[in-house]
Amino acid sequence: MGASLKDIKRQSIAVDKTRQITRAMNMVAASKLKAAQSKMENFRPYADKIMDVFDSLAGRVTSTTNPLLAVREPRRIRVIMMTSDRGLCGGFNANIIKEVEKFTKEKTAEGKEVSLIAVGKKGRDPFRKKVKIAGEHIDQLSRFDISLAAGIAGEAVPPFVAEEYDELYLCYNEFRSVASQKPRMIRLLPASSVGSDEGEPESTVDYIYEPSEEELLAHIIPLYLRVLIYRGLLETSAGEHGARMVAMDNARSSCEDMLQSLTRQFNRARQAAITAELMDIVGGTEALSAG
């Protein structure tokens, strides 16, 4: 019974404030999640279609005249790593960092060189001293559109063409549900239709291509990259809010548990104080009457 009544009271007020904050943050995250999720859903038809077109084209064009399809011995690897700018979202960022760390370790062990393009502050900071950061996009996830993806792609593509690095990967949290995000590592460059998930392109229609297949493909690869990056950004943003919602919900229920135990402690301490006081009075009167 170390803490005094006052101490316990003060502590429980603090915990209650934290509980209110976590509740507010949970609600903010929920509304942001809703917006991010609808953005993600609205983007899906466009993304799916672009992927389809890319797949059907990439499957046809076999010549490697396009510099973005050039397969080289992967000695230098670049990774676009997507995390959030803010913390308090559970293991959301830690999972990505772990994934990238593992990847970096593996590749370095094979004698390859890894550099990063960091999107989001939480991912950049732990790597700042370990790995070369080729580019960073910080504090932009709170509000973005496809031009951010275009910017990232625009920064990543020229060095690839100039052969400054040989492979480009993208690592982000795949949005599976509000409560579940899973780190996912995909290869962006050299671009290949194998990289996309939905296996067989169902359409085997013989299209007329205008302009030629190669030219179309040259147009669509940058677009395809932009689409993949944008999808990554959207899923990261939705995932961040989802993860924060869950984290805040957990924090709130922990706060409630703590409050309960503090209240119990407080009552017990108060009861003990009353008992001690009563004992004193009783002891005093007994002493008086005895005297």
Partner 1 sequence: MADQLMLEIVTPEKLAFSDVVEEVTLSGSEGEFGVLIGHAPLLSSIKFGELNYTKDSKKTYWFAGDGYAEITNLKATVLVESIEEAKSIIGEEAQKTRESVEAQLAGMDKDDPDYERVKKTLGRAEARLKVAEKV
Contact positions vs partner 1 (CB under 8 A): 39, 42-43, 45-47, 49-50, 53, 56-57, 145-146, 205-211, 215-216, 219-220, 227, 230
Which of 133/223 has CB closer to partner 1? 223
| DSSP secondary structure, 102-144, as one string | HHHHHHHHTT-EEEEEEESHHHHHHHTTTSEEEEEE-S-TTS-
Which of 158/199 has CB closer to partner 1? 158
In angstroms, give the least distance from the CB of 205 to partner 1: 5
Rounded to whole angstroms, the Cα distance separating 95 from 218 reads 35
The one-letter amino acid at 20: Q
In angstroms, give the least distance from the CB of 230 to partner 1: 7
* Contact residues for 243 (Cβ-Cβ < 8 A; gap 6+): 89, 90, 91, 92, 173, 181
Which of 2/45 has CB closer to partner 1? 45
Q: Indicate the DSSP class of residue 118.
A: E
Q: Provide the token pair at 24.
A: 């507010």
Q: Name the packing angle between helices 5-60 and 213-290 (round to 10°).
A: 170
In angstroms, give the least distance from the CB of 41 to partner 1: 10
**Among candidate residues 137, 184, 135, the one with its CA nearest the CA of residue 157:** 135
In angstroms, give the least distance from the CB of 194 to partner 1: 21
Q: 63: left (phi > 0), else alpha (psi -120 to 50), else beta?
A: beta
First CA to last CA distance, the chain: 34
In angstroms, give the least distance from the CB of 168 to partner 1: 21
Q: Could you tell me which residues are beta bridge partners of residue 186?
A: 170
Which of 72/219 has CB closer to partner 1? 219
In angstroms, give the least distance from the CB of 152 to partner 1: 15
Which of 50/258 has CB closer to partner 1? 50
Nearest 5°: the CA angle 54, 58, 59 is 120
In angstroms, give the least distance from the CB of 229 to partner 1: 12
Which of 154/284 has CB closer to partner 1? 154
Which of 43/266 has CB closer to partner 1? 43
Nearest 5°: the CA angle 177, 183, 186 is 115
